[in-house]
Copies of this chain bind each other. A is one copy, B any other.
Amino acid sequence: MSGMAKTPKPPYYAVIFASQRTEGDRGYEKMAEKMVELASKQTGFLGVESARDNELGITVSYWDSLDSIKNWKENSVHKVAQERGKQEWYKNFSLRVCKVERDNFYEI
């Protein structure tokens, strides 16, 4: 769950997940780490980037296809986490599924 994602040449897909947390951890950090670990083992997973401050959290995961995104969405362990997210962890969230058309990397 650290740093910038190294993705292949476009096109590929991104899921932008923005969220505002409820108060307190409630097992969130542990589950978030577990979900990144599990996602990274899924077919078609290309990388993930995540940042959170007091205002907002943004996690962007990258995938090779819409089918891979669908499979991850329907993963049974992930589904349990999604439900706890709605019940316990998030005040609001949004999910956007995007096709990455071009990208540009800069390193010193």
Contacts and interface: CB of A to CB of B under 8 A. Distances in A.
Interface residues on A, range: 35 or more
B14 A56 contact: no
A22 to B, nearest CB: 9
Contact of A14 (B10, B50, B91, B96): B96
A14 B96 CA distance: 9
Contact of A107 (B2, B18, B92, B102): B92
Interface in A63-108: 86, 90-108
Interface of A: 2-5, 7, 10, 14, 16, 18, 20, 49-53, 55-58, 60, 86, 90-108
A100 B14 CA distance: 9
